Amino acid sequence: MKHFYLLLASCLLLACSQRPAETSTDENEAQLQAQRFLSEYTSQYKSLYYASAQAEWAANTRIVPGDTTNAWQVQQANEALARFTGSQENIEAAQTLLENRAELLPLQVKQLEVILYNAANNPATVEALVSERIKAEAAQTQLLFGYDFKVDNRSVSTNDIDNILKGTMNLDSRLNAWTASKEVGRDLRQGLLNLRRLRNETVQALGYDNYFAYQVSDYGMTTQEMMELNRQLIRDIWPLYRELHTYARYELASRYGQQEVPDMLPAHWLPNRWGQDWSPMVNVEGLDLGPVLEQKGPEWIMQQAERFYVSLGFNPLPQSFWERSSLYPAPADAPYKKTTMPRPGIWTWSRMYAACKV
């Protein structure tokens, strides 16, 4: 998720540089040079990012067992983007321009810093390592999103698993469903360990201790400061969480007919396979949006979201969004399937928009 926010921030910041370089008599030579570089960089970045978005979207919406074509296309597109963002030429140009940061516009400074931050994840000085990391990321994505989840030896979707955890009272069925949702971890483990190594070694080439330190630096913090902030947040919310946790233990024990209230909440008792959403535990009488939304259809929900951001001054979605979007499950007899793992909402729709835009 953090990876997406970085790319989104990059696109937004760099998009701001799309203006003629010599439009203001107040601009000094340093600003003009910076603007020329930023405009050229942005043009190439947008083109390469668009190709990357298309490749990744295809890899998520058309999964053919045994076919590695999509993974190869993702690797090729992401390597092209990495070669550009991590090129020594771009790094040196940004560093040189920042030597005169006092003469640059604040926005230009931010844009150049984003360029260097992106470069640190794909430095040309370790091009072979970056290529290996991108290949490993593509392989993990294909493995995760193409995984065949099974409950009682029957293939199921993650929606099926979610529905069991939201509505089934039988604890054995719940445990089977929850366990099935975690089985993919066995297949992912070795690849994740390798990916951790590759990500650490990639950013270490530009002086970061590890990939965590690299990402934390985007917040202007050290790893120690970030960890202390998280500990403080936990300390702050602990009294409230303790009360909610106690309520949940007693409420769920009663709901499932358990005489003994456990000290820790069994994960399969919760209505969410990650234990992150407890809202289905509460049933508000008279409030059921399901039947209403079913009558509207998936297009209506997206249209309401579109109306909201258009009201903020953004342009309507292009027609290609509606033609290429993945709003529906694959047909039952389709020779392919779509991702079995839902993405965080903002990643899904923003990545979809990037891949579908004209």
Q: Which residues are annotated as a binding site for chloride?
A: 219
DSSP code for 312: T
CB 59 within 8 A of CB 126: no
Give, for 154, the enclosing helix (H) or strand (E): strand 154-155
110's tokens = 């931010």
Distance of CA 114 to the CA centre of its chain: 18
> In one letter, which amino acid is 232?
Q
Tokens of 61: 């919406």
Running DSSP on this structure, what letter comes out for residue 24?
-
- The answer for residues whose C-beta is within 8 angstroms of residue 214's C-beta and 6 or more apart is 120, 121, 203, 208
Binding-site positions: 219
**Token digits of residue 42:** 């942005």
Question: Can you spell out the DSSP letters for 242-305?
Answer: HHHHHHHHHHHHHHTT-SSPPSS--GGGSSSTTS---GGG---TT---HHHHHHH-HHHHHHHH
